[in-house]
Amino acid sequence: MSNKSINVIVKGIVQGVGYRVTVKRIANELNIVGTVQNLKNGNVKIVAAGNSNKIEKFITLIKNNPTPFSKVDDISIESNYQNNNKYSDFKIII
């Protein structure tokens, strides 16, 4: 199994609607590690690492408006993201 790291910026209605909590839940279900945080411009940043197949599933799930009130308008993904942090779990950065 190969691992993959990604850096994701999610645009749309993704703050104040439970999006980060839902992203964390999805990551935990798929054994993905990393972080999710709100950005000052209204977007959400996600850094995620894990099995390549699970990362692909993760991307699909976070794109498809995973909360009742979220609306993902655009998602940009930097694959093969080189991150020096070593994560042991998935955290919400406040």
Say whether 20 is catalytic.
yes
Say whether 25 is catalytic.
no
> Counting every residue, how long is the chain?
94
Residues contacting 47, CB < 8 A, separation 6+: 5, 6, 7, 8, 34, 35, 81, 83, 85
Catalytic residue among 38, 51, 65, 83: 38
Tell me which residues are annotated as active site: 20, 38
